Chain A
Amino acid sequence: MAAIEISNVTKRFGTYAAVNDVSLSVPEGSIYGFIGPNGSGKTTTIRMIMNILLPDAGEVTVFGRHSSSSARDDVGYLPEERGLYKRMPVRRLLRYYGQLKGKSVRDLDPVINAWLERFQLTPWADKKIEALSKGMAQKVQFISAIVSKPTLLILDEPFSGLDPVNADALKDAVLDLRRSGTTIVFSTHDMSAAERLCDRIFMIFKGQKVLDGTLDEIQSNYGHDTVRVRVTGGRAALAGFTEIDSVNDFGNYQDLRMSGDPQAFLQKLAQKTTVQHFELTKPSLHDIFVRIAQPTAEDMKRPVSGAN
């Protein structure tokens, strides 16, 4: 059974379709990455999964159940940053969030203690949230989302603003949860995190599904027209080649989208400058995202409206 089944769902705000005829199936036990530019319908989709919003057309089921409060208890949600009462002590807040999911304090306390211990937050259990550093608060927030042992966990930008140590601690926790059978929906703008963590990736753009599949599937759909090069002279040395459609400059190397024969291009390039690295590669998720969401001239004229 799929953890989440979205079939032909449309949600309008006034005349604006925030989500337009989207279908998606999230298998149980997977990590599903949700990507898409701001205002493209990600939050609306997530809110429909969480039963905060109801679709105008189509249907959303979570673990086979239609939107109902019982399904809601199985879903944990971590909003982007914040989401915590500043003046509430850590333990009271975690109990409160767990109780709201229908759990008793007796069941919650061992779980809370274990997670506080794991994140080295035990000494802070009775401190107010406002006394915590940003990293600690974000870990508390993560615990608040999983304290009720949800079977579906929705994470909105869980790693943004975290230092590498804290980011790793959270990533390990996410992977542990997956191993224990939790389905994870992971909304992010961090393309490399999505590439590394997610089993499948879903991209929504202007309310419509534009990508859905494993990273391999998505990359092979976008062909092998990408070449990663490192040359003396950097980007300037690449000027003047008609084969190059676009350059994504990473400083130390450049990803090129090109047309024509790569071997012929390599020869021409070697004549002009010293080639240190030349690799035929798949386009990165970042490139694919940019190709899809690159604003057209028409888009630049009007602001993107609607809820995010």
Chain B
Amino acid sequence: MNRIFIVAQSEFLTLVKTKAFLIGLLLMPIITGGAIAFQVYAQKHSDRDDHKFVVIDHSGVLSAPLFASADAFSKKNGEGATRTGPHFVPVPNDTSVALDDAAALGSYRLQLSDRIKAKDLFGFVEIPASAVDPNVETAPAIQYYTETPSYDRFPTWLEQTLNEEITRRRFDSAGVDQKLVKKLSVRADVQTMGLVTKKADGSLEKAKETDPIATFVAPFAVLFIMFLSVMSTAPQLLNAVIEEKMSRISEVLVASVSPFDLLLGKLFGVTAVAVLLALVYFLGIGYYAIYAGRTELVQPALMGWFVIFLVCCVLMFGSMFLAIGSACSDIKDAQSMMQPVMMLMMVGYIGSFAVLRAPDSNLAMGLSFFPTSAPFIMMLRMAMQPTPPLWQPALSLAITLATTVAFVWAASRIFRVGVLMQGKGATFAEMIRWIRAS
């Protein structure tokens, strides 16, 4: 037992005392925070250009209100250094072109297209005469020509502005009062509520409106932290074992401790790192949640389950990586053999997106009881509403524990033989033979 602890301690220190660990620790908050900050920054600062556009208006009445709206839009986004967004700048039509002459119109379109290519214009819009026809049967198509179709801010604004104006005109021509239209088309909102409960004194506790942070963000964060903790620790065992094998450290080690103790020590060391990692994240998030006044998001009972599932998860995947590492003779060999294990690990993560939408579905149930995804999915479901009945996490835990024991046992059989093998790496078939060998 003592030797297992010594191996675990050394493994823990080796992993924690590296720059990679610190980088890994900071990476998630930095990447997530950085992504959000960048998006906010990009929205505010990147799009501050003048987008010049020409309107060929066959209806004759829509371009004026469109131009007015464009001016208002530009004004709202400010001027000069304090400018926060793009300006949409209308450019007058070439009045010499006869727009009712098809040939002239065709060459005018070409001329405008050339100006877009030359960056003189951003785009041009062609509004059909039918746009303001009150008796229109099919939806009139407004055409927007551009070289930059991925920029959707302009067409979105265009569509909304023109439709408001077109609808106003249609109602006007039908003799309907605008104010009445507004009043009659007020939308009804759907509020997602929690359930009504009874208080201790027998009175009814009013249901509260659910919020997206508690229903989606928090459960996903729990799952993601588990995934990240496993992902950034367990695979390291593979490299560690291969390094030890290639430099004959394994021989020295198994001359001092039994392969099984060595395997357990390594697994425990890495598990401790994973738990440490998860705790650091949770402390950070917990601190922030309390700071933001969302104390109800901090659930200590859930943490107990989390640690148990996380420990199993690291032991389960860690033993697979150890087994593969011991059976391979170099990193290249190992990389192809670790793909299936990576896939098993991803099952839980990828499945989580479907489970988030439908936590009671058959798929969610299945994934909660499938050995390698059980810890991830069950943890996710326990962090969600409705909380699954206790037998489900209990069964899930039983399956996870049984799988963990089986994997650690099988890995120890492979490890025992593999760690002393030099030269050619083993195949999966050979590894299965080693497991069966007495």
Q: A77, B258: Cβ atoms under 8 Å?
A: no
Q: Nearest Cβ in chain A — how far from B353, in angstroms?
A: 38
Residues of chain A within 8 A (CB-CB) of B3 are 100, 102
Task: Produce 1/0 per residue, A269-301, CB < 8 A to B.
Answer: 000000000000000000000000000000000
Q: Which of A79-87, A170-178, A210-218 contacts B (4 or more CB under 8 A)?
A: A79-87
Residues of chain A within 8 A (CB-CB) of B107 are none
Assuming the contacts A47-B420, A88-B14, asked whether A96 and B6 have C-beta atoms less than 8 A apart, the reply is yes
Q: B249, A84: Cβ atoms under 8 Å?
A: yes
Q: A69, B258: Cβ atoms under 8 Å?
A: yes
Q: Among A51, A83, A144, find the residue whose CB has the most chain B CB atoms closer than 10 A.
A: A83
Interface size on A, residues (CB 8 A): 31
Q: Nearest Cβ in chain B — how far from A212, in angstroms?
A: 24
Chain A residues numbered 119-145 whose CB sits less than 8 Å from any CB in chain B = 144-145
Residues of chain B within 8 A (CB-CB) of A50 are 255
Q: B10, A77: Cβ atoms under 8 Å?
A: no
A101 and B14 alpha carbons, distance in the complex (Å): 19
Residues of chain B within 8 A (CB-CB) of A96 are 6, 10
Residues of chain A within 8 A (CB-CB) of B6 are 96, 99-100
Chain A residues numbered 75-110 whose CB sits less than 8 Å from any CB in chain B = 75, 77, 79-88, 92, 96-97, 99-102
Task: Produce 1/0 per residue, A59-82, CB < 8 A to B.
Answer: 000000000010011010101111
A266 within 8 A of B: no
Q: B248, A82: Cβ atoms under 8 Å?
A: yes
Q: A83, B251: Cβ atoms under 8 Å?
A: yes
Closest to B247 in A: A82
A50 and B18 alpha carbons, distance in the complex (Å): 33
Q: B255, A83: Cβ atoms under 8 Å?
A: no
A80 and B248 alpha carbons, distance in the complex (Å): 8
Among A69, A73, A81, A101, the residue within 8 A (CB) of B248 is A81
Residues of chain B within 8 A (CB-CB) of A73 are 256
Q: B14, A85: Cβ atoms under 8 Å?
A: yes
A160 within 8 A of B: no
Assuming the contacts A85-B14, A99-B6, asked whether A79 and B251 have C-beta atoms less than 8 A apart, the reply is yes
Q: B252, A144: Cβ atoms under 8 Å?
A: yes
Q: A79, B248: Cβ atoms under 8 Å?
A: yes
Assuming the contacts A52-B254, A77-B255, A100-B3, asked whether A83 and B10 have C-beta atoms less than 8 A apart, the reply is no
Closest to A88 in B: B14
Interface size on B, residues (CB 8 A): 24
Residues of chain A within 8 A (CB-CB) of B421 are 307
B257 within 8 A of A: yes
A73 and B258 alpha carbons, distance in the complex (Å): 11
Residues of chain A within 8 A (CB-CB) of B257 are 69, 100
B253 within 8 A of A: yes
Q: Nearest Cβ in chain A — how far from B13, in angstroms?
A: 8
Among B2, B251, B252, the residue within 8 A (CB) of A97 is B252
Residues of chain B within 8 A (CB-CB) of A248 are none
A47 and B249 alpha carbons, distance in the complex (Å): 14
A221 within 8 A of B: no
Assuming the contacts A52-B420, A69-B258, A72-B256, asked whether A100 and B248 have C-beta atoms less than 8 A apart, the reply is no
A308 within 8 A of B: yes
Residues of chain B within 8 A (CB-CB) of A88 are 14
Assuming the contacts A47-B420, A52-B420, A100-B7, asked whether A84 and B247 have C-beta atoms less than 8 A apart, the reply is yes
A173 and B12 alpha carbons, distance in the complex (Å): 34
Q: A86, B247: Cβ atoms under 8 Å?
A: yes
Among B2, B252, B420, the residue within 8 A (CB) of A83 is B252
A82 and B244 alpha carbons, distance in the complex (Å): 10
A50 and B243 alpha carbons, distance in the complex (Å): 22
B422 within 8 A of A: yes
- Kindly list 4 other residue pairs between chains A and B, CB separation below 8 angstroms, not including A50-B255, A79-B252: A51-B255, A72-B255, A82-B247, A100-B257
Could you give 12 example pairs across A and B, Cβ below 8 Å?
A52-B251, A52-B255, A79-B248, A81-B248, A82-B248, A83-B252, A85-B243, A96-B6, A97-B252, A100-B6, A100-B256, A307-B422
Binding site for A on B (CB under 8 A): 2-3, 6-7, 10, 13-14, 18, 243-244, 247-249, 251-258, 420-422
